[in-house]
Chain A
Amino acid sequence: MFKHSPLAAALLAASLAFPMATPALANADLDALRAELREMKQSYEARLAEMEARLKAAELQTVRTERPAPAGSDRLGQVSSGTAFNPQISVILDGVYYGDNQSGAGPEKYEHIDGINHGHDHEGHGHGELERGFNLRATEIAFSASVDPYFDANLMMTVDSGGGVELEEAYFDTRSLPAGLKIRGGKFLSGIGYLNDQHPHTWDFVDQNLAYRTLLGEHGIMDTGLQFTWRPRTGSVYTLLGAELLQGNEQVFGTAGEEVPTDRADGSLVVTGNGDLAGEKAGPRLFTAFAKLAPDLGDDHAMQFGLWGARATQHQEVHDESDPDAPQTCAAGGECVHALQGKSWLWGADWVYKYDAPGAYGQGDLKLSAEYIRERKNLTLAFHEDPAEALGQARKFTQDGFYLAGLYGFAPNWQVGVRYDVTGLTNKLDGPAGRIWDKNDSDRWTLSLTHHFSEFSRLRLQASTADLWEDSLNGVKNRVNQVFLQYQHSLGAHGAHKF
């Protein structure tokens, strides 16, 4: 390359000197010559720069390939782009364009699905009430890091579009217990079922299935306490056994610390005197146990079976029939308010099958899943405005539900999903003298189409049609059709592909 440098310099000099040396030439000719020289100069300079770059690259290459492989050195740890001490942070943005055939009342119809938990939704609407049109759903923010050699910690919160912050999970995990044992403590999503510990951004559909929604609540069981898990050695089968001691706060099926109100929903005073609710028991009041089994089916297939149960040792609920949203109505000034307390049970079974096709970008992959949940509340009458009502009468509420879902990757980065979900196949209340009421089941069909632009962003179109009973006893049923167009973006730390 040095051979060319003097030449370039000479050309440069010539281009500068030329106009003075030949004053007689016409201006036009001069301009043409100057332009030609300038062009030559530029082309030489470009070629020089290119050759210099190539030489540099070649030198680097030699250095790289001739660096000797380290003999006998061995480095611990891993190569990562994460910063060593700061937690890994990820943020999930989630937005929905929504429409329905109920003039925007679709979400409300879902709140009023007829069942044993009707009107007792104690959850805040953390993931937001949908409006027709554009909606920003709750933004998930997650932090995770190792605390020290003994603990990992995770934090997950959501911020809704109005700025409301909800702490969904904040827990530690042990990392050095032997024999396949692990303890988790703090606030977390229970390990029961298949979907319960999944956050909305890992769902295959925009919304929660009906069985979870009506029996566990929009989030599933999310509570504060301790979780113990054990993975015993069981040959080629993966086995996970777990048990949880949870506080029992504000669960759909486990609520303590309720009080008989002083005012009715219509504003009139409650007549007290006949009974009262017991005080809040010391926690933990909610216990769960679960087992998951997964046989080894080779590289292409994977399957997992689960069975679980949960018990709330204190459950209290107040029924106020003067509330316009209540399932029954009472005459103005009548005996509208009563309260129940007792214990409740939940059990469920879950099944997941996955086929991993050799195709790239998820083409040919298949996922099938199904869950069944049954809830039973064994309550007694603890308070009634009507002094004639005998306290201690039994009220046994039973309801169940299930979903079946399938997801298929029909093209690279494209998935189609189908789901059928039902709640209330059994949907009944028994009293001391037999059946008090039987309600109908609500069901839904859902179809979704998802496109993954990359691993970190997706667009989903979902349509569903549901027959939702609002009041079985008076024959009020709603046909709710919904359509969603959803985007989800994940920023920051690379998420895990959980089973």
Chain B
Amino acid sequence: MRYVVIILLGLMAQTAWALNVVATTASMGMLAREVGGDAARVTVLAPPDRDPHMLQAKPSMMRALRDADLVVAVGAELEMGWLPAASQGAANPRILPGRPGYFEAAAQVPLLEAGEKADRALGDVHPAGNPHVNMDPARMAGIARALAERMAKLEPDQAAGFRQRAERFAAAVAQRLPGWKARAAGAPGAVLFHKDGNYLLDLLGLPVLGYLEPVPGVPPSAGHLQGLAAKLKGRPGVILHHPYQPARGPERLGELLGWPVRQVDLEPAKEADAQAYFHLIDQWVAALAPGRP
């Protein structure tokens, strides 16, 4: 009987203490887990192998958002197609934009390509800036610190722990950064499928040589691939794409140019920790700089 009481108390304590965090993508979930530690219970909405632009609001998302204390989103309109609809269906006032329960990673750091022309003739553009900040470990360190402050606001008793863990994550990034830069130095650059690896290439000082999508959100066409091949003929490079992006376009361009085609993940696994995230960056660096240790 005594044990039952202890277990019950333990369960109650668990639900009372832990911050209920819903992260939109796996890398945001990783950050929330790293910073929140035991003081946060994290649910991830978007499967890592799906295009985060194209998801639909599902009832299970509304269910998760209904009881969330904090939503950790990538932001800059990446989740625009589904997060507002899911939040609407969740009827949870704590997590609406502008409230402390809504955290947007893109709002914490300067964005690439901010202020570009808002014209859909240029595709599914994000005039507020490129939202794929999760591909920049240095920016992610800054985001971790901001997230610690936010969690501290919501759970002041745990503030020291949040800040400490954010610093630990930032230190781990700082430790790996020179290694990544050294390995990538002098690499020829890459053709990306979509504008999602830009932050990492920017961090490593490598050029983005082109995109398989003629404009964001439109699948590659034969004419566009021919044009790319004509422009890039004779120089070295690699072609990168994600598992959820059709492989036909990248392979065709690879044949035309004689370049290696590599599949890389945009997101780590749903339950990823910092190690898994760093492994993802390792995977990109290795793909960008082939033939180096």
Contacts and interface: CB of A to CB of B under 8 A. Distances in A.
Interface of A: 61, 64-65, 67, 69-81, 149, 173, 175-178, 180-182, 229, 231, 233, 236-238, 240, 292, 294, 296-297, 299-300, 302, 304, 354, 356, 358-363, 412-413, 453-456, 491, 494-499
Contacts of B103: 74
7 tightest A-B contacts by CB?
A69-B142, A294-B59, A496-B85, A74-B149, A238-B59, A299-B47, A238-B63
Contact of B97 (A65, A69, A77): A77
Contacts of A302: 58-60
Contacts of A454: 120, 123-124, 217-218
A181 B91 contact: yes
A294 B60 contact: yes
Given A74-B150, A359-B244, A175 B96 contact: yes
Interface SS of B by simple majority: loop
B1 to A, nearest CB: 27
Contacts of B76: 78-80
Given A74-B146, A81-B126, A236-B60, 11 more contacts: A61-B205, A65-B205, A76-B98, A177-B91, A177-B93, A178-B93, A231-B66, A294-B60, A361-B219, A454-B124, A455-B81
Interface in B192-211: 202-203, 205
20 contacts: A61-B202, A72-B149, A79-B76, A80-B76, A180-B66, A180-B91, A231-B62, A231-B89, A302-B58, A358-B244, A360-B51, A362-B54, A454-B124, A455-B53, A494-B80, A496-B57, A496-B82, A496-B88, A497-B55, A498-B85
B128 interface: yes
B112 A64 contact: yes
A360 B245 contact: yes
A149 B102 CA distance: 14
Interface string B61-95: 01100110000010111001110110011111100
B132 interface: no
A78 B243 CA distance: 29
B54 A79 contact: no
B100 interface: yes
B286 interface: no
B22 interface: no
Interface SS of A by simple majority: loop
Contacts of A238: 59-60, 62-63, 66
Contacts of A354: 56, 58
Contacts of A69: 109, 138-139, 141-143, 145, 170
Contacts of A176: 93
Contacts of B143: 69
A111 to B, nearest CB: 35
Given A76-B100, A79-B129, A497 B82 contact: yes
B7 interface: no
A237 B63 contact: yes
B34 interface: no
A231 B64 CA distance: 12
B60 A81 contact: no
Nearest to A367: B56
B108 A75 contact: yes
Contact of A304 (B59, B120, B246): B59
Contacts of B149: 72-74
A65 B63 CA distance: 39
A402 to B, nearest CB: 22
A356 B50 contact: yes
A409 to B, nearest CB: 11
A32 B112 CA distance: 48
B108 A73 contact: yes
A79 B106 contact: yes
A56 to B, nearest CB: 15
A462 B132 CA distance: 38
B49 A294 contact: no
